[in-house]
Structure 1
């Protein structure tokens, strides 16, 4: 699969689609089909056409974070002033979907790719993405040998990196990157813990006065380490750890973060995620919860002062 739809082409496609809908409206076709209103029709029609009726908000925002709908997995695109960071890539079968989304956003080169940890639902799609896009730098946590997987999801990504001659670099707490005017601060891992989840790279994105905290699959153990480090964890947007599992997002941790928005990347499945306990905890802090299984891709835009939130459906 080759990503062929540039952002310019995407806008042309959206304009043509809108024009067609306007003709149908004038002919009375839409009123006949949707006498109660058009908003639901527009959302569904744009989705079927492979378009997004919220993408214009990201076009106009100096910084945006897209939490992609990739099932019970994670993939997050961060844009800032024409530069791009991809955090995780979902499962192997989501590589094409992630690549299509990047292409529609006009991405031809990723400045950074960060794999928070090498579980298959985070690293799996990165192999396919790396094969399709230019990648500036690739990062992951440095793990002891017993925590490094040998499955296809991980080895396929490593092979893609070797083929493109992209070295693997390692991040730990205290490191920092910049993406335009966006500060990408690495809060964890601070030490080697017992599981891949608890060695997740935790990122704090700071743009102006706005803050985004991305937890990977960090569980209570890594949250406790972060609290003990006395770092400032306050954030406007929290990408909830481990898909809303009850082993993450402890009350003490959420009290330190106090997010206005909470994003949960999850699938409608037998896993029963996000946990009711986690949702109740988030509700106690009045967080506005976005779920990819309910609302599709979640979009958070910042102008450096405040954050706005929109969903795909």
Structure 2
């Protein structure tokens, strides 16, 4: 089965995002032999690049499925452009105001459901904008939770509805949410990150990643998707952290679908060292790993992370603000081959 995965350039400097288009099927055949998918839209500029890529390289103006992994603007904003300019079969997106009872039960301040819904739509206006455009265009919206069917080739491995609802009140824009232990820990991480970077020696026999890294609630709410294309297995992780990835690996293994034999991995959160640990990378392995990042800072991607992936046998590519294509059994575009990441002997602590 043919496959093309197109990564758009998103952001500059420390500002990274995701905007991914892909198609699979008989890529030498007609459109009805192919499935076209968009995973996140990045900024509005990268959203336009997605539209142009689908029209020029996929030769269609129709996308079968659009997935919003989570609410960060550098993943979501470009979907407004996609919805405006392309015909979309279905939008998979979490909608926080569909979970009012769960949110209100954890708030310190009392709201009626109507008041809370209005407040959420004001504070999470980009989600509301995407939802409104979808309604206007007649695009059905479904929340992407474990157990929600997509098609025979695509499955959702995370989050469960129950896990998502436990995260909602720790979202930064949830009104008057009680400050949680995770929020306090993230503040400590931020303070530590402001200190001078310390560099460490790394070798193939060393294991430098931590298993106790903390990830923001919004990021752990990311949709985790797997594609199985005649045994060619892909995993897309959004900005998910260790907790969310572990739950996805547990689920996959419980149905005899291990994530240790992937062909392709989208590395979470632009290669941040706060999103993966040693234990999860022993369970989630791929022949090829892609990092969507500008490459202009030591954080995205972390050399610790790219080294760890290499140690586990993956060939790692970083987009570095470029259009980058991964393909299998697909027409040749005549593009140049980019260099894989090298192993770094010095990594940030």
Normalising by structure 2, we get a TM-score of 0.64
Once residues 159 and 222 of structure 1 are traced to their aligned partners in structure 2, the CA distance between those partners, rounded to angstroms, is 29
- 1:138 paired to 2:91: yes
**In 2: Cα distance, 1:197 partner to 1:244 partner:** 13
Checking the alignment, whether the CA contact within 8 Å between 1:116 and 1:200 is kept in structure 2 is yes
What CA distance in whole angstroms lies between the structure 1 residues aligned with 2:268 and 2:336? Answer: 21
Query: What's the counterpart of residue 9 of structure 2?
Result: 69
1:159 to 118, 121, 132: 132
Contact 1:91 / 1:153 at 8 angstroms: preserved in 2? no
After TM superposition, give the deviation of residue 279 of structure 1 in Å.
1.4
Between 278-287 and 212-221, the greater mean CA deviation after superposition: 278-287
What does the per-residue CA deviation read over 1:212-266, in whole Å, with 9 as the maximum and x for residues that have no partner? 1100110112022224433422311100011111111222222112211110001
Q: Is 1:79 paired with 2:23? A: yes
5+ unaligned residues in a row in structure 1: which ranges?
Answer: 1-60
Contact 1:290-1:298 at 8 Å conserved across structures: no
Q: Does 1:292 align with 2:319?
A: yes
Secondary structure at 2:281 match in 1: helix
Question: 2:273 maps to what in 1?
Answer: 246
Q: Which has the higher contact order (CA 8 A, sep 6+)?
A: 2
Within-5 A mapping of 1:1-313 = 62-71=2-11, 72-81=16-25, 82-105=34-57, 106-141=59-94, 143=96, 144=99, 150-178=123-151, 183-190=153-160, 191-192=163-164, 193-194=166-167, 195-229=217-251, 230-231=253-254, 232-234=258-260, 235-270=262-297, 272-293=299-320, 296-303=322-329, 311=337
SS at match of 1:236: strand
The range that moved more, 81-90 or 130-139, is 81-90
SS of the aligned residue for 1:137 comes to strand
Residues in 1 aligned to 2:336 and 2:235: alpha-carbon distance in whole angstroms: 18
Which stretch has the larger CA shift, 219-228 or 116-125?
Answer: 219-228
Q: 1:208 to 1:300 in 2, by over 3 A?
A: same
* Structure 2 residue matching 1:157: 3-state secondary structure: helix
Secondary structure class of the residue paired with 2:234: strand
2:61 and 2:278 mapped to 1: Cα distance?
41
Give, in whole Å, the separation in 2 of the partners of 1:148 and 1:66: 33
- Sort the Cα spacing of 1:311 and 1:265 in 2 relative to 1 into closer, same or farther, 3 A: farther
* C-alpha contact 1:241 1:248 (8 A) present in aligned 2: yes
Distance 1:161 1:142, change over 3 A: closer
Task: Tell me the alpha carbon deviations over residues 124-146 of structure 1, each in whole angstroms, 9 at most, x when there is no partner.
Answer: 10001110010111111354556
Q: What is the SS of the residue equivalent to 1:277?
A: helix
Distance (whole Å) between structure 1 residues aligned to residue 86 and residue 263 of structure 2: 30
2: distance between equivalents of 1:228 and 1:214?
A: 16
1:151 Cα deviation from its structure 2 partner: 4.6
Any conservation in 2 of the 1:258–1:285 contact (CA below 8 Å)? yes
Which segments of 5 or more consecutive residues in structure 2 lack a partner in the other structure? Answer: 26-33, 104-118, 168-216, 340-349
Give me the TM-score of the superposition, normalised by structure 1: 0.71
TM superposition shift of 1:175: 3.1
Contact 1:187 1:203 in 2 (8 A): yes
Counterpart contact for 1:66–1:76, Cα < 8 Å: yes
> 1:176 deviation in Å?
3.3
